[in-house]
Amino acid sequence: MRVLGVDAGSSHLKCAIVEDGSLEDHTVVESTGPVKKVLRRALDELGAGIDEFDVTAVTGYGREALSDEFDETVPELPAVALGASQLVEGARTVIDVGGQDTKVMKVEDGKVVDFQVNDKCAAGTGRFVENVCRRLGIEMSEVDEHASGADDPVKINSMCAVFAETEVISLVNRGIDVERILLGVLDSVAERVATMIDKVSPEPEVVLVGGMARCRVFAELLSDRLEMGINVPNEAHVAGAFGAALWVLEK
């Protein structure tokens, strides 16, 4: 069976093509413009049409806006947990740091048994890092390059994302190295996420997925704070889309 799984996130839309339970192809596109047009753009990149699949499933922040085009609408937590568990054998703790929120799940056999969600403050999400990068004139793809050039991160004291961004501007105006500022921002996000993780009593294997999983320095900082190894699968950014497709197959 050929299945299309889509994760309509707040900053990026992810597509996963699953053939007989295996991830065949995937793509990620920026969520700029109406979500249905973003979906068309993603499918064009894959060279596929939505009617080519035996069944389709959508999850994520924008799933309701796309529900009329899909066979199934899948809740985010089960989708991410299932996808991560398939990507990393023996996954027990799944961390999804995306643009809109951060989700931490305790997982058994691909099923969520406990969770924490931060959707109240952007300071512990990828959106905060994106906004800071924009102010610093740095692309997200350049974060690792810049952050790895610093040994001494600047402490970001503000707990609120808006105040933290103002704090970053102040640091720049004081002539603090951009590398130190960026490393400090990543460490502040890692600190907030680690606090969430502690609440679910993490166990290995620990898996990091979502957009921030593509940032190696962030993964290392989070691992240091947890004092645990973290698995970052190659397809970490499409775990939700992959899981949505798998959810349909299991159903």
* Residue 152, domain CATH: 3.30.420.40
The alpha carbon torsion through 167, 144, 219, 215 (nearest 10 deg) reads 100
CB 219 within 8 A of CB 232: yes
What pLDDT score was predicted for residue 118? 87
Note the pLDDT of residue 100: 83
Q: Provide the Cα torsion 6, 87, 106, 111; round to 10°.
A: 70
**Do 113 and 75 share a structural domain?**
no
Residue the block writes with tokens 């299991």: 250
CB under 8 Å to 141, separation ≥6 — which residues? Answer: none
CA separation for the pair 70, 60 (Å, rounded): 13
Instruction: Count up the domains in the chain and report the number.
Output: 2
Q: Is the dihedral of CA 112, 118, 119, 124 positive or negative?
A: negative
Residues 76 and 97 reside in one and the same domain: no
Q: Are residues 112 and 79 in the same domain?
A: no
Q: What is the residue range of 165's domain? A: 90-232
pLDDT bucket at 165, cuts 50 / 70 / 90? confident
105 plus 177 within the same structural domain? yes
- Note whether 77 and 7 are same-domain residues: yes
Please tell me whether residues 61 and 150 are part of one structural domain: no
Q: What pLDDT, on a 0 to 100 scale, did the predictor assign at position 126?
A: 86
Token readout for 180 is: 């130190």
Average pLDDT (25-36) is: 96
* Residue 67 and residue 103 in one domain: no
pLDDT digits (tens, 9 = 90+) for 106-159: 999 999 999 999 866 767 788 889 989 998 999 999 999 999 999 899 999 877
Tokens 């720049």 correspond to 172
Q: Verify that 154 and 239 share a domain, yes or no.
A: no
Residue 201 sits in the same domain as residue 248: no
pLDDT tens column, 69-110? 999 999 999 999 999 999 999 999 999 998 889 999 999 999
Whether the pLDDT of residue 186 is over 90: the answer is yes
HSE at residue 120, side-chain half, CA atoms within 13 A, is: 6
Q: Are residues 13 and 115 in the same domain?
A: no
pLDDT digits (tens, 9 = 90+) for 34-71: 999 999 999 999 999 999 999 999 999 999 999 999 99
Residues 77 and 27 sit within 8 Å (Cβ to Cβ):
no
Whether residue 123 is found in the same domain as residue 201: yes
Q: What is the model's pLDDT at position 119?
A: 63
**Cβ contact 16:57 at 8 Å:** no
Q: Cα–chain-centroid distance for residue 60? A: 11
Indicate if 71 and 108 belong to the same structural domain: no
Q: What number of other Cβ atoms are within 10 A of residue 110's Cβ?
A: 18
Question: Given its phi and psi angles, is residue 21 left (phi above 0), alpha (psi -120 to 50 degrees) or beta?
Answer: left
Distances (CA, A) of 88 to 11, 45, 96, 114: 25, 26, 14, 19
Q: 193 pLDDT exceeds 90? A: yes
Q: What is the pLDDT of residue 120?
A: 66
**Quick check: pTM over 0.85?**
yes
